[in-house]
């Protein structure tokens, strides 16, 4: 009998934010699949207390926007995973936050399914939900809309014009440009940021003027729509 692949969301950075289902899945998995981007393996550090003694399967998944390189790395990772599934092993692929939100896992998930194997998703706490909690604010109230925006992709001018609240992700090195756009749109005072939420080097910015230089890839900006006082 073939094994099963699980994409396990491990939350934003604190092991205590893993769901009970995520912990059970990790403990019951035969092997843990870890994406190797060439940098620090943050997701692995989060789950290390729950996977002691388990074999790790590393998949080479470089951080690049080159579509050809990405497709090839996804295919190779899926082939590697399917070899293990063919042996009847159950695998847990760990990913930060939630697998359904900007996760490399989903590309591999779809390939594995297309190859005729079974794969499932174990949700995790999204980083922007954790960031809102750290800032002590809501993401949306009443009939407010919420937009999740990859701020270093596409037309930020256009997306900042959308009605409702905005979550700006994937800023990183583009933070100075993003801040300038917020200034242009008169949205800076309505914006707050959390860098490395629930991680050891966490920083909370109640005022965007306090942000200097480039920030971590794990930076979340929340822009609240101006509301009339009741």
> What CATH number does residue 72 fall under?
3.40.1010.10
Which of 122, 154, 177 is where one domain is finished? 122
Share of the chain above pLDDT 70, in %: 98
Same domain, 140 and 113: no
Range of the domain at 197: 127-223
The predicted pLDDT at position 215 comes to 76
Same domain, 42 and 26: yes
Same domain, 106 and 140: no
Per-residue pLDDT at 227 exceeds 70: no
- Beta strands 31-36; 91-95: pairing state: parallel
Alpha-carbon torsion, ordered 139, 145, 148, 149, to 10 deg: -120
Per-residue pLDDT at 186 exceeds 80: yes
Residue 228 lies inside a defined structural domain of this protein: no
Which of 122, 153, 180 is where one domain is finished? 122
- 222 neighbors 131 (Cβ within 8 angstroms): yes
From residue 44, alpha-carbon distances to 9, 10, 212, 224 in Å are 11, 9, 29, 33
Q: How far apart are CA 109 and CA 117, in angstroms?
A: 10
Q: How far apart are CA 191 and CA 206, in angstroms?
A: 8
Residue 14 lies inside a defined structural domain of this protein: yes
Give the mean model confidence (pLDDT) for residues 177-199.
94
Q: What share of residues in the chain are helix, strand, coil (percent, to 5)?
A: 35, 25, 40
Same domain, 112 and 137: no
Same domain, 16 and 92: yes
Share of the chain above pLDDT 90, in %: 82
Residue 230 lies inside a defined structural domain of this protein: no
From residue 32, alpha-carbon distances to 53, 91, 200 in Å are 10, 6, 24
The predicted pLDDT at position 16 comes to 97
Same domain, 56 and 91: yes
Same domain, 21 and 112: yes
Per-residue pLDDT at 121 exceeds 50: yes
Same domain, 160 and 98: no
Which of 122, 148, 178 is where one domain is finished? 122
Give the mean model confidence (pLDDT) for residues 91-108.
97
Same domain, 16 and 109: yes
The predicted pLDDT at position 155 comes to 83
Same domain, 59 and 106: yes
Residue 158 lies inside a defined structural domain of this protein: yes
Coil, strand or helix at 195: strand
Mean pLDDT, the chain, rounded, equals 93
The predicted pLDDT at position 40 comes to 82
Give the mean model confidence (pLDDT) for residues 27-40.
93
Same domain, 61 and 171: no
Confidence of residue 229 (pLDDT cuts 50, 70, 90): very low
Give the mean model confidence (pLDDT) for residues 158-179.
89
Same domain, 9 and 80: yes
Q: What is the pLDDT of residues 59-71, one digit of tens each?
A: 999 988 899 999 9
Q: Number of folded domains in the chain?
A: 2
């Amino acid at each position: 009998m073939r094994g099963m692949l699980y994409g396990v969301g491990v939350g934003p950075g604190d092991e205590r934010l893993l769901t009970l289902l995520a912990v059970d899945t990790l403990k019951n998995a035969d092997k843990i699949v870890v994406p190797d981007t060439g940098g620090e393996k943050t997701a692995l550090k989060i789950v290390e207390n729950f996977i002691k003694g388990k074999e790790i399967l590393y998949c080479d998944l470089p951080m690049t926007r080159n579509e050809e390189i990405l497709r090839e790395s996804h295919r190779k990772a899926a082939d590697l995973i399917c070899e293990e599934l063919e042996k009847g092993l159950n695998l847990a692929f760990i990913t930060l936050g939630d697998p359904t939100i900007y996760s490399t896992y989903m590309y591999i998930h779809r390939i594995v399914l297309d190859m005729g194997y079974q794969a499932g998703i174990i949700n995790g706490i999204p980083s922007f939900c954790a960031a809102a909690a750290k800032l002590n604010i809501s993401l949306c109230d009443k009939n407010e809309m919420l937009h999740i925006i990859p701020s270093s992709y596409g037309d930020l001018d256009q997306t900042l014009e959308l009605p409702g609240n905005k979550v700006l992700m994937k800023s990183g090195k583009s933070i100075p440009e993003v801040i300038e756009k917020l200034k242009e749109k008169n949205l800076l005072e309505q914006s707050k940021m959390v860098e490395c939420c629930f991680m050891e080097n966490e920083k909370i910015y109640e005022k965007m003027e306090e942000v200097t230089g480039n920030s971590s890839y794990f930076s979340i900006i929340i822009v609240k729509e101006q509301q009339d006082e009741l």
